[in-house]
């Protein structure tokens, strides 16, 4: 019994070791095809996109400036040493005769406005981060949808290639039996080669699209992944009146322009205040003939020459320029929203047309194959019907992509999600 148990233990240990070695040797061959949905793509882009990282550092930069301007100017210290001249006995009595400390201050109100201006710059950079994020949201959504579209195009190209192969086989059979001309045989071969070329081209588009999306996500472009979502029919349920009620004042570029105008106005006031005297307060300790004395120092600096008129004129011009930029940006935003709505409405109508064509495409293809096999339609008619059916399917999925992209553009122009999810603003 003991020997049998020992043999069984040795056998199990051997099998366990063998399985461990086999498993270890197979690990390098395992390829992890990460399945990535759209939300995961946005999460990765938010954290690792180079533009997002740069925008976050710009906020830190602006906050550093804010910290600097909120700090008083550095005090000045002056030490006065005397006694270097030799006395009657030929000795020097070097000692500290006076200590003077001064704290300079800006004209009244300037320090406060500097802080407000720097705080405005921080807010501008925060809106810049939102602006960058909206561009990335649009680009990631477009690239992700393009990959879905290219995968569908590969599927359709594969179906078309198979149809062309069957078509070529039928023509070849008819040609060999003397029922088709050599021109038909040669044309069928050319169409087959064209279908093979289209299939390879779409595969290249898919690889390029994946590389482009990887770079947007801040990772190596050769990183392998699979998208898990599909293009779906979306509704544009809002009218233009509804869109106008939303407005565009929440757009980061509009907010940045308004904040920049506020900064320019504060800067103009600051330059006017710089016409006032700046001043300093200080303390002085005097040591003369072994007697200490103390003094309070007060000094002013009066901008007599030109009264800061150059900087005031410059600040006023900057404010007026920014006012015109804000006005032009508001007009441009109105046009962008209107045009984006028209595009979305157009693509929604085109999708309805594409959907109706798709319903006829499969039946058209089935009848074309049947009638050509029975000799009821000629070569060119058969070829035209195959192309029409295939193109109808391509147009339908292209219409799905166009509608999705136009709704995304409208979301970005409004700075508000129009879908049930709110990927656009939830991170900020």
CA proximity to 334, closest of 425, 243, 402, 239: 243
Q: Is 46 contained in some domain?
A: yes
Asked whether the predicted pLDDT for residue 72 surpasses 90, the reply is no
CA proximity to 274, closest of 317, 242, 308: 308
Bridge pairing between strands 34-36 and 225-227: parallel
CATH number of the domain enclosing 42:
1.20.1600.10
Asked whether the predicted pLDDT for residue 425 surpasses 80, the reply is no
Asked whether the predicted pLDDT for residue 310 surpasses 50, the reply is yes
When divided into structural domains, the chain yields a total of 1
The pLDDT tens digits of the residues spanning 368-420 come to: 878 877 778 777 787 788 888 888 888 999 999 999 999 999 999 999 888 87
CA proximity to 56, closest of 139, 134, 125: 125
Q: Is 134 contained in some domain?
A: yes
Q: Is 28 contained in some domain?
A: no
- The average pLDDT across 5-32 equals 42
Looking at residue 131, its pLDDT comes to 94
Residues 6+ apart with CB under 8 A from 428: 129, 130, 133
Q: How far is CA 325 from CA 254, 329, 333, 340, 397, in A?
A: 10, 6, 12, 22, 40
The pLDDT tens digits of the residues spanning 27-49 come to: 333 334 488 999 999 999 999 99
Confidence (pTM): 0.79
> Which residues make beta-bridge pairs with 72?
none
Q: Is 171 contained in some domain?
A: yes
CB-based contact 285:296 (threshold 8 Å)? no
Q: Is 182 contained in some domain?
A: yes
Question: DSSP character for 180?
Answer: S
Residues 6+ apart with CB under 8 A from 187: 379, 383
- The average pLDDT across 165-177 equals 84
The pLDDT tens digits of the residues spanning 123-170 come to: 999 999 999 999 999 999 999 999 999 999 999 899 888 888 887 887
Q: How far apart are CA 176 and CA 22, in angstroms?
A: 55
Q: Where are the beta strands (DSSP E) in 106-238?
A: 225-227
> In the chain, pLDDT over 70 holds for what percent of residues?
89
Q: Is 19 contained in some domain?
A: no
Burial class (CB in 10 A: 0-12, 13-18, 19+), 354: buried
Q: Is 420 contained in some domain?
A: no
Determine how many CB atoms are found less than 10 A away from the CB of residue 419.
Answer: 13
Mean pLDDT of the chain: 85
Looking at residue 428, its pLDDT comes to 61
Q: Is 419 contained in some domain?
A: no
Q: How far apart are CA 317 and CA 310, in angstroms?
A: 11
For residue 305, the enclosing domain spans 34-83+94-414
Task: Quickly state the pLDDT bin for 427 (edges 50, 70, 90).
Answer: low
Asked whether the predicted pLDDT for residue 26 surpasses 70, the reply is no
CA proximity to 328, closest of 247, 248, 246, 257: 257
Q: How far apart are CA 268 and CA 18, in angstroms?
A: 81
Asked whether the predicted pLDDT for residue 24 surpasses 50, the reply is no
- The DSSP H or E segment spanning 303 is none
């Amino acid at each position: 019994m003991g020997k049998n148990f020992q043999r069984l233990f040795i056998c199990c240990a051997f099998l366990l070791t063998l399985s461990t070695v086999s498993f270890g040797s197979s690990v390098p061959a395992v390829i992890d095809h990460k399945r990535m949905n759209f939300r995961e793509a946005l999460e990765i882009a938010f954290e690792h996109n180079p533009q997002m990282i740069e925008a976050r550092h710009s906020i830190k930069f602006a906050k550093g400036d804010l910290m600097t301007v909120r700090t008083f100017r550095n005090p000045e210290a002056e030490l006065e040493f005397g006694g270097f001249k030799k006395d009657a006995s030929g000795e020097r009595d070097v000692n500290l005769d006076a200590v003077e400390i001064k704290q300079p201050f800006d004209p009244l109100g300037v320090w406060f406005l500097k802080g407000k201006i720097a705080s405005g710059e921080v807010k501008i950079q925060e809106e810049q981060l939102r602006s960058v994020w909206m561009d990335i949201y649009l680009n990631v959504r477009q690239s992700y949808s393009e990959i879905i579209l290219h995968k569908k195009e590969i599927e359709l190209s594969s179906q078309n290639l198979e149809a062309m192969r069957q078509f070529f086989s039928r023509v070849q059979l008819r040609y060999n039996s003397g029922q088709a001309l050599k021109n038909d045989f040669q044309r069928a071969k050319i169409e087959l080669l064209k279908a093979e070329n289209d299939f390879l081209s779409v595969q290249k588009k898919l690889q390029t699209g994946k590389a482009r999306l990887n770079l947007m996500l801040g990772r190596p472009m050769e990183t392998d992944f699979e998208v898990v979502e599909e293009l779906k029919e979306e509704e544009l349920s809002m009218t233009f009146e509804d869109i106008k009620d939303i407005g565009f004042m929440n757009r980061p570029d509009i907010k940045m322009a308004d904040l920049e105008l506020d900064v320019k106005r504060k800067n103009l006031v600051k330059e006017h205040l710089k016409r006032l005297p700046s001043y300093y307060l200080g303390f002085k300790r005097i040591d003369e003939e072994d007697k200490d004395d103390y003094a309070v120092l007060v000094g002013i600096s009066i901008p007599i020459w030109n009264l800061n008129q150059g900087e005031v004129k410059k600040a006023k011009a900057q404010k007026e320029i920014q006012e015109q930029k804000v006005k032009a940006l508001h007009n441009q935003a109105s046009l962008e929203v209107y045009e984006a709505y028209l595009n979305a409405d157009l693509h929604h109508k085109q999708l309805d047309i594409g959907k109706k064509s798709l319903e006829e495409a499969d039946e058209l293809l089935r009848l074309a194959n049947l009638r050509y096999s029975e000799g009821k339609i000629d070569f060119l008619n058969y070829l035209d019907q195959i192309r029409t059916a295939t193109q109808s399917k391509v147009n339908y999925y292209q219409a799905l992509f166009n509608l999705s992209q136009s709704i995304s553009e409208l979301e970005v122009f409004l700075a508000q999600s129009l879908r049930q999810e709110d990927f656009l603003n939830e991170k900020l």
